[in-house]
Amino acid sequence: MVFRPFIHENQKKIKILIPECYTGLIESGNVIPIPEVQLDKKKLPTTSLNKKIFKDSYYAVCDLNRMFNPTAVYVAIKSNAEMKIGFKTKHSDHFYNLQISVKNKDDIESGYLNIRNLLEIDIKKSVELKDKITQQID
């Protein structure tokens, strides 16, 4: 699992939205399960699920779905996150400002590695900036 170590190391910084039936696959306290009954006919979150998802603000949103997923796209757009990462598709320019291109479905693992690397670089930069600001204040 490409993201398992990354999730473990950054548990306090990450929220994971995942279909409720897959919650057992993720060992993190920051999982927001998405029950099928809390999605409308278009697969968009209901008001109660929206409140749960958007009670926090997000710096980065990653859609790990290789194909178009209306729930994930909705969350990416509505989140107002600065960094929106997703896979390159016919319409992905409308949703994501960072897009990962994979030539075929066998390359999906390399796509996930690229996403993880982008997130690791960004988290490292934010920690370094925070340390720098703290040193200046002291």
DSSP of the chain: -TTHHHHHHTGGG--EEEEGGGGGG---TTEEEE-GGGB-TTSPBPHHHHHHHTTS--SEEE---SS--HHHHHHHHHHT-SEEEEE--TTGGGT-SEEE--SSGGGHHHHHHHHHHHHHHHHHHHHHHHHHHHHHH-
* pLDDT reported for residue 125: 59
| Distance (Å, whole) CA 63 – CA 79 | 12
CB 69 within 8 A of CB 106: no
* pLDDT reported for residue 110: 82
Domain ranges within the chain, ordered by starting residue: 4-137
- What's domain 4-137's architecture? 3-Layer(aba) Sandwich (3.40)
Mean pLDDT of successive 10-residue stretches along the chain, which has 138 residues: 62 71 72 88 92 85 87 90 87 90 77 80 58 54
| Distance (Å, whole) CA 82 – CA 60 | 6
* pLDDT reported for residue 98: 87
* pLDDT reported for residue 94: 92
Which position has the token pair 């370094």? 128
* pLDDT reported for residue 102: 82
* pLDDT reported for residue 9: 66
* pLDDT reported for residue 41: 93
* pLDDT reported for residue 81: 85
* pLDDT reported for residue 132: 53
* pLDDT reported for residue 37: 92
